Structure 1
Amino acid sequence: MSADRLRTAARLAHIAPFHVMELAKQAAALEREGRHIVHMGIGEPDFTAPEPVLRAATEALRQGMTQYTGATGIPALREAIAGYYASYYGLSVAPERIIVTAGASAALLLACAVLVDMGDEVLMPDPSYPCNRHFVAAFDGRAVMIPSGPAQRFQLSASQVEQHWGTRTRGVLLASPSNPTGTSILPDELERIVQAVRARGGFTIVDEIYQGLSYDATPVSGLSYGDDVVTVNSFSKYFNMTGWRLGWLVVPPSLVDAFEKVAQNLFICPSAVSQHAAVACFSEEALAIYEARKAEFRQRRALVVPALKDLGFEIPVEPDGAFYVYADCRNVAHPAAGDADRLTQAMLQDAGVVIVPGMDFGPSTAHSHVRVSYATSQANIALAMERLAGLFGKTHG
């Protein structure tokens, strides 16, 4: 049989292209032609790992600390993460409950492998990070996308969970702050959601990878509402280690063995060098650097939000975390207003600015909204806003 006749798995039919990455490919092609492009599409900090982390990685390499580790991570890192929960959240989390993973994506895959059975339904907001529904589908579950608009801060509410819970519902998958909206679930609402799910015997998974980048209030972890909540975190965003592929889970004590067994079989272990380097993330020196970078992100938010409003975008819920603005594009002065796909193509081709359409994040806002990433310099943000002002016939102040 020739390779072009090999049959692919049926589940691939339900996985749409990731438009964020498709636009990035188009932008790269334009750059090869000599165009200058301002990237406000991919959610990746323009900061990289700080010097303390680089020193720790170099030392690990020198000492030959490059072999397999335990599937749940090295003890020093699990203890450092537990210490972070104590100092940052005031929570006592046993290191044994912490499962270090090959990024938050691997963490979510593990959670779905352990908790989702064939035919199970998992509730999540629309809009939400597109890969989340595919993680569920990878284990033959089904994501149920619930339209969640500005009135709910683009997040699920407890009343929506109660309304949409059915006979096949197994749990909920949340993110706070969220990609693509940069909005958090208010603490009282999150507590009500956990209680509603618990009353129905389900699981609650909370993706908290952007909580280190919360600007307006100290975030509250889902772990505050019981040790039956599964939380996901990452070294990619606040800790600026995207390509190091390192994250973690905090899981209920009764599920530690199950998660370890699946991790052993699917991943063996996370990167050894990344783990040894990441211990240094929690040093006083590194945390001071991260807090300074967080302050820079806050300044970027203060720059981009009013600039987008001046251009005609509506921002019904201002972001309180991450580095995204989810903007309504229906009233901008352009022929493609209200068609986010065409509009983002015009912004790329005619203005040299990468912004992504809402179609990645769910059908309810697919055409009406765009996601703007401010994970780039203030100079780049100012240049992008100037170019878009020209595109929309505005005077940029």
Structure 2
Amino acid sequence: MQLASRTQTITPFYVIQVLKQVEALERQGRDVIRLFVGEPDFESPSAIVKTAQHSLQHEAQTYTSSTGIAALKQKIAERYQRWHQLDINPERIIVTPGGSAALQVAFLATLNPGDEVLLPEPGYPCNGNLLAMVNAVGVPVFLDPNHKMALSMENLAAAVSKRSKGLLIASPSNPLGSVMSLQQWQRVADFCKARGIHLFADEIYHGLTFGGLAPSVLQVDDQAWVIQSFSKFYGMTGWRLGWLVAPDSAVDACERIAQNLYLSSPTIAQRAALAGFEEGVEQQCFARRDELQQRRDYLVEVLPTLGLEVMANPDGAFYLYVDISRYSQDSVAFCADVLTETGVAMTPGIDFGGPCPRTSVRIAYTVDVERLKVAVDRLKTYLTLTHATDNR
């Protein structure tokens, strides 16, 4: 019995293959430093956990509205006012089971079979696969490796066709850590409006930026689609909770899609997330951001001394995108060998597409500085011994 043809175009998430390799080594008793998964070593804030425990003990865990608990939607709207001075109608907020579900709702609401969405690369690998699941097509737009992975408006324009229906941009970016300025968002918004295409903004790493809060696309385009998540800033990866800010005209359609796609988001996660907006919890999350900045600063200083150049301006998230061309033209083989020989796990650039996937790797600084120093020492020894000729 044949499977659907879309299954032939959905590519594997290579980081999961790295995870399997890591777990196999750990079962052998190896000490592996995990610098490959997008999940820092912070537990969910205790106030969030305690709120969940209280809810389990004292509240019925019944279905909620398909768009989310009203109190949670209100808190999200208030954060847009507090962080960006934006008045967002809570009715435009659709609470979803994670950021991926938010993107899925947005795609289902806007795209027909054969429609195209422009995807700057390197980028999050699941985006193209989510498009395939709605029978749409992701069109890669390569970022410029010679200019800190800048997005060229000329390249964007060249990628547009009569089937173009959207542009998806992440800020802060995975895997680059780069952040869109307000002026850059304005140029992109003008580009989309001039062509009548949807602007999708992946803002799931908001709050985790090192030069102040990142601008939201909603500051320049009130009708853009915003994908958000509780996973990163609030440390709630396993709770599976996110949200979508939809244009006014699309709210009804998104609600109907949500009703049929997943009925409602996890009740316990929604109630727990309410605690995330408490002042003390938010301060705790910003303190964690400051620790991430210390990790970034250490790596940005030391990696170039090993011949590993950082390819973008990593002003947010917790990733560095690193050029390994001095040592290898095969990022998959390079990462596999480094993992086997040193116990340092990184993600090969092949997972993220773009102009140089085989000569780049993503490093996630998801362990503390002392642990990062151990990783750097291991990498230094490996590169010196294995690539002595290249290091002369």
* Coarse TM-score class (shorter-chain normalised): over 0.9
Corresponding residue SS for 1:213: coil
Distance change (3 Å), C-alpha of 1:16 and 1:265: same
Q: Answer yes or no: is the 8 Å Cα contact 1:125–1:154 preserved in 2.
A: no
Q: Aligned residue for 2:186?
A: 191
**What does the per-residue CA deviation read over 1:222-258, in whole Å, with 9 as the maximum and x for residues that have no partner?**
1111222000110000110000000001111111000
Q: Answer yes or no: is the 8 Å Cα contact 2:31–2:343 preserved in 1.
A: yes
Q: Aligned residue for 1:163?
A: 158
Distance change (3 Å), C-alpha of 1:382 and 1:65: farther
Measure, in 2, the Cα distance between the counterparts of 1:171 and 1:155: 19
Structure 2 gap ranges (5+): none
Q: Answer yes or no: is the 8 Å Cα contact 1:38–1:353 preserved in 2.
A: yes
**What does the per-residue CA deviation read over 1:145-185, in whole Å, with 9 as the maximum and x for residues that have no partner?**
01112456435343332222111101101101110111112
**What does the per-residue CA deviation read over 1:182-220, in whole Å, with 9 as the maximum and x for residues that have no partner?**
111232122111111111111000000012101123311
TM-score (norm 2): 0.96
Q: Answer yes or no: is the 8 Å Cα contact 1:158–1:189 preserved in 2.
A: no
Work out whether 1:30 is the aligned partner of 2:21: no
Matched AA of 1:184: V
Measure, in 2, the Cα distance between the counterparts of 1:363 and 1:157: 13
Measure, in 1, the Cα distance between the counterparts of 2:187 and 2:147: 14
Q: Answer yes or no: is the 8 Å Cα contact 1:65–1:273 preserved in 2.
A: no
Measure, in 1, the Cα distance between the counterparts of 2:226 and 2:70: 19
Q: Answer yes or no: is the 8 Å Cα contact 1:153–1:185 preserved in 2.
A: no
The farther-off stretch of 139-148 and 302-311 is 302-311
Q: Aligned residue for 1:89?
A: 84
Q: Within 5 A, what are the aligned runs for 1:108-147?
A: 108-147=103-142
Indicate which of 362, 367, 388 corresponds to 2:379: 388
Matched AA of 1:252: P
Distance change (3 Å), C-alpha of 1:307 and 1:65: farther
Q: Aligned residue for 1:104?
A: 99
Matched AA of 1:213: L
Q: Within 5 A, what are the aligned runs for 1:152-231?
A: 153-154=148-149, 156-231=151-226
**What does the per-residue CA deviation read over 1:256-300, in whole Å, with 9 as the maximum and x for residues that have no partner?**
000000000001000000000001100011011111111100101
Task: Report the CA distance between 1:36 and its aligned residue.
Answer: 0.8
Q: Answer yes or no: is the 8 Å Cα contact 2:142–2:155 preserved in 1.
A: no
Q: Aligned residue for 2:364?
A: 373
Indicate which of 288, 308, 311 corresponds to 2:306: 311
Q: Aligned residue for 2:53?
A: 58
Task: Report the CA distance between 1:52 and its aligned residue.
Answer: 1.1
**What does the per-residue CA deviation read over 1:32-84, in whole Å, with 9 as the maximum and x for residues that have no partner?**
01111000000012111111111111111112331100000000100000111
Corresponding residue SS for 1:364: coil
Indicate which of 226, 234, 240 corresponds to 1:239: 234
Task: Report the CA distance between 1:364 and its aligned residue.
Answer: 1.9
The farther-off stretch of 157-166 and 282-291 is 157-166
Matched AA of 2:240: R
Distance change (3 Å), C-alpha of 1:24 and 1:114: same
Structure 1 gap ranges (5+): 1-5
Distance change (3 Å), C-alpha of 1:88 and 1:19: same
- Count matched residues: 386
The farther-off stretch of 76-85 and 302-311 is 302-311
Measure, in 2, the Cα distance between the counterparts of 1:237 and 1:115: 26
TM-score (norm 1): 0.95
Measure, in 2, the Cα distance between the counterparts of 1:152 and 1:193: 18
Measure, in 1, the Cα distance between the counterparts of 2:172 and 2:150: 9
Corresponding residue SS for 2:218: helix
Q: Answer yes or no: is the 8 Å Cα contact 1:124–1:156 preserved in 2.
A: no
Corresponding residue SS for 1:362: coil
Q: Answer yes or no: is the 8 Å Cα contact 2:144–2:151 preserved in 1.
A: no
Measure, in 1, the Cα distance between the counterparts of 2:37 and 2:343: 15
Measure, in 2, the Cα distance between the counterparts of 1:152 and 1:231: 27
Measure, in 1, the Cα distance between the counterparts of 2:60 and 2:281: 21
Residue identity (%): 39
Corresponding residue SS for 2:16: helix
Q: Aligned residue for 2:279?
A: 284
Matched AA of 1:343: F
Q: Aligned residue for 2:66?
A: 71
Work out whether 1:301 is the aligned partner of 2:292: no
The farther-off stretch of 356-365 and 344-353 is 356-365
